[in-house]
Amino acid sequence: MTGDPDLDRRKASLRAKLKARRAEAAQANDGANGAAIATLAADRFMAAIPVAVGQIVSGYWPMDDELDPRPLLMQLQRKGAMIVLPAVQQGTRLLQFRLCDDLADLPPAGAYGIPAPAATATALVPDILLVPLVGFDREGFRLGMGGGYYDATLQGLRAVVDKKILAVGYAFAVQQVAELPHAAHDERLDWAVTERGAVRFASERQS
Strand order in the sheet with 191-194: 95-99, 82-88, 56-58, 128-131, 166-170, 191-194, 197-200
| Whole-number Cα distances in Å, 76 to 79, 90, 176 | 5, 29, 25
DSSP state of 173: G
Taking the chain (207 residues) in consecutive chunks of 10 residues, what is each chunk's mean pLDDT?
79 94 86 81 97 97 92 97 93 91 88 88 96 96 91 91 91 96 90 97 60
Which superfamily is assigned to 5-202 in CATH?
NagB/RpiA/CoA transferase-like (3.40.50.10420)
Strand partners, 142: 136
Kindly list the domain boundaries of the chain, sorted by start residue. Answer: 5-202
What's this model's pTM, rounded to 2 decimal places?
0.92
Q: Was 149 annotated as part of a binding site?
A: yes
| 15 labelled ligand-binding | yes
Under DSSP, the state recorded for 30 is: T
The answer to whether 204 is annotated as binding is: no
Residues whose CB is less than 8 angstroms from the CB of residue 135 and which lie 6 or more positions away in sequence, other chains included: 14, 15, 18, 142, 143, 171, 175, 176, 177, 180
169 belongs to an annotated ligand binding site? no
Which sign, positive or negative, has the C-alpha torsion 14, 16, 19, 21? Answer: negative
SS3 content of the chain, % helix, strand, coil (to 5): 35, 20, 45
Q: How far apart are CA 20 and CA 32, in angstroms?
A: 13
Task: Tell whether residue 66 is among the known ligand binding residues.
Answer: yes
Q: Is 164 annotated as a binding residue?
A: no
At residue 64, the pLDDT reads 86
Q: Does 13 carry a binding-site annotation?
A: yes
How far is the C-alpha of 177 from the C-alpha of 169, rounded, in Å?
Answer: 13
Position 60 scores a pLDDT of 96
pLDDT of residue 207: 37
| Contacts of residue 202, Cβ cutoff 8 Å, sequence gap at least 6 | none
The C-alpha torsion from 122 through 102 and 54 to 40, rounded to 10°, is -130
What distance in Å separates the CA atoms of residue 164 and residue 161, rounded to the nearest whole number? Answer: 8
| CA atoms within 13 A of residue 170's CA, in its CB half-sphere | 36
Amino acid at 205: R
* 187 marked ligand binding residue: no
Is 82 flagged in the annotation as binding?
no
Distance, in Å, from the CA atom of 124 to the CA atom of 91, rounded to the nearest integer, reads: 20
Q: Which of 99, 13, 92, 24 is nearest to 54 (CA)?
A: 99
Q: Output the pLDDT for position 206.
A: 45
